[in-house]
Structure 1
Amino acid sequence: MAKVVVIGANGFIGSHLVDSLASAGHTVTAFDRFSSRSPTFTPQGVNLLQGEFLSRADLEEAVRGQDHVFHFLSTTTPATAEADPTLDIRTNVAQTVELLEACVSAGTQHVFFASTGGAIYGPQDKAEYAETDRALPISPYGIGKLTIEHYLHYFQKTHGLSSTALRISNPYGTRQKPNKKQGLIPIALRQIALGRPVVRLGSGSMVRDYVYVEDLVRMITPLVGQATEHNLYNLGSGAGHSVSEIIESLRRVTDTDFEVRELPTPPTFVDRVVLNTARYRAEFGTTPLTALDDGVRLTYEEIREDTNA
């Protein structure tokens, strides 16, 4: 078992990852601001460390004595990075470099970075994307993630800091914050719970690879302490669903005939992104996946409860 710290531990994926790592028997430190809400993960046996990602001193404290560092915090979303690309550079990219420097000084064994599989490949008109395909992002969010991946390579070459980039598809599920305006499923479910119209970008033909968050963290946890063949993995369901198919799932689950309002598709959105996960499955096997309607139902139950609270 290892000593691990999750940077962004109270976030959507991070909180589920804390639970999964702790359940696997690892000694987990949860680093986050914890400013707006109490821990959403199960805190029993987890070391809570409150701090600011933008503070070098706080990062140094977070990684001190840790075997593995999970960098699952982002200061921007695709929308906020689009609105101000320099914000992504000044905060996400620059501060990740400081985090990597802190890891080198602390003697960290391995860094796991939550990259993006949804934005990093760009528009290449492929049925699916493998890790060997070129990364050609056209959005500031994707460009920032790819830049950090390059810095991982740099620190591995110059300082021997071992790392793994995880190109995650489109995760959804419980503990996702609809008010952050990231993620079609939680945003739409919140609108439905409030009796408001659901916004659809474009005609509904856009295809994404949706993966339920608990399935995702079950894919990540076995990587700890393993000698892997690669330093880059696609993580997703390996299947694509169009926006129209997602909306039909929302109708089935909520049993609601909600209104759909169409808005233009942003120019940096890619029409189709489905991830090839054969590299991961060849090393770690197949992870049982939650059916779309089941995952949507679990997500809706939480959102409806929060809305009615």
Structure 2
Amino acid sequence: MASCLVIGANGFIGSHLVDELVALGHEVTAFDRFSGGGPPMYSAVGVRQFAGDFLNQADVAAAVSGQRFVFHFVSTTTPATAEDAPTLDVRTNIASSIELFQHCVDAGVEKLYFASTGGAIYGDQGGESFAETALALPVSPYAIGKLAIEGYLRYFGTKFGLDSVSFRISNPYGPRQRANKKQGVIPIFLSRIAAGEPLVVFGDGSMVRDYLYVGDAVRMIGQTVGRSTRESVYNIGSGEGTSVRALLDVVTRVTGITPLVEERAVPSTFLQHVVLDAGRFRTEFGYDEFTDLEDGIARTWETLAGGRR
């Protein structure tokens, strides 16, 4: 059993990660603001809850103290908010991440695990899929910030010996993903169908993404905990590309509802084709049990208010 601190534990991926780490037998501290007043998003019991603000360095330092492993799974921005205010991402996400890494060094943390992005970090370069050896050429402020944080992790490793690994996660989806965050086309589609609203599609629906069920993502990450990693960066994705048109077909079958669709112009920073090659991860850790897209969307639909299979 290892002491694990999950920063961003009341978020979408973070809450599922808490559940996975507890299931693996680890001692987990969940760090988040927990400002909603309701129960936490994770379902595991026996979790130590630490209410704090990622932007408050006293809170972060106190939470990191005594932890063996730290999971940096919080983001102060989304792709949309970072694009609207790029300097906000720099002043909050990047700056606070650097301060977190220093606290980890000071506290003697054994390893830091970072949730980067695979859905946007490679940019539009053509090709069927991206391996970690491909150039990272992000064009959106959100992905640029993630790449900068990866760079600072290399710096802290070189200068201070902080061991770390970055997970470039593709396009995760599943229960607990909040459509009001305007991040993730699957929860947005499902929530709009549940509300009887039209779906917005950018362009002709030919854009391709690598959709990964959140349970698969956290199981992959959980396999690395406490183990040495040969590399500092791993793609976390299914390796399967799905167009928006094909995704519309799936959500129509799952919900039994044919939605109205509104086509809009493609924003300049949207990428046409992003599929991840997760061969590096599978070679080292052997994961190859991905949830079928239709099954994953059905599970997600069932969790929505008014949703039905």
Q: Same fold (TM over 0.5)?
A: yes
Q: Is the 8 A contact 2:22 2:44 kept in 1?
A: no
1-side partners of 2:139 and 2:153: how far apart? 21
Structure 1 position 134, deviation (Å) = 0.5
Which residue in the other structure is 1:54 paired with?
55
Which residue in the other structure is 1:113 paired with?
114
Which residue in the other structure is 1:7 paired with?
7
Which residue in the other structure is 1:18 paired with?
18
Residues 206-242 of structure 1: CA distance to partner in whole angstroms, max 9, x if unpaired? 0000000001111000111101111110001011000
Aligned AA for 1:7? I
Structure 1 position 62, deviation (Å) = 1.1
Aligned AA for 2:223? P
Structure 1 position 23, deviation (Å) = 0.5
Equivalence map 1:65-76=2 (5 Å): 65-76=66-77
Aligned AA for 1:146? L
Aligned AA for 1:285? G
Q: Is the 8 A contact 1:219 1:287 kept in 2?
A: no
Q: Is the 8 A contact 1:204 1:242 kept in 2?
A: yes
Instruction: Name the SS of the counterpart of 2:190 in structure 1.
Output: helix
Instruction: Name the SS of the counterpart of 2:149 in structure 1.
Output: helix
5+ residue gaps, structure 1, are none
Residues 183-205 of structure 1: CA distance to partner in whole angstroms, max 9, x if unpaired? 00000100000001011111100
1-side partners of 2:306 and 2:7: how far apart? 28
Structure 1 position 304, deviation (Å) = 2.9
1-side partners of 2:307 and 2:66: how far apart? 37
Residue 16 of structure 2 corresponds to residue 28 of structure 1: no
Instruction: Report the TM-score when normalising by structure 1.
Output: 0.98
Structure 1 position 58, deviation (Å) = 0.5
1:8–1:306 CA distance, 2 compared to 1 (3 A)? farther
Structure 1 position 305, deviation (Å) = 4.4
2-side partners of 1:275 and 1:20: how far apart? 23
2-side partners of 1:216 and 1:235: how far apart? 7
Aligned AA for 2:81? T
Q: Number of matched residues?
A: 307
Equivalence map 1:298-309=2 (5 Å): 298-305=299-306
Residues 42-94 of structure 1: CA distance to partner in whole angstroms, max 9, x if unpaired? 24111100000000000001111000000000010000000000010010000
2-side partners of 1:67 and 1:61: how far apart? 14
Aligned AA for 1:4? C
Q: Is the 8 A contact 1:129 1:275 kept in 2?
A: yes
2-side partners of 1:181 and 1:256: how far apart? 22
Which residue in the other structure is 1:204 paired with?
205
Aligned AA for 1:204? G
Instruction: Name the SS of the counterpart of 1:28 in structure 2.
Output: strand
Q: Is the 8 A contact 2:194 2:306 kept in 1?
A: no
Instruction: Name the SS of the counterpart of 2:212 in structure 1.
Output: strand
Q: Is the 8 A contact 2:7 2:14 kept in 1?
A: yes
Aligned AA for 2:156? F
Which residue in the other structure is 1:158 paired with?
159
Paired-residue identity, %:
55
Instruction: Name the SS of the counterpart of 2:305 in structure 1.
Output: helix
Larger mean Cα displacement after TM superposition, 30-39 or 271-280: 30-39
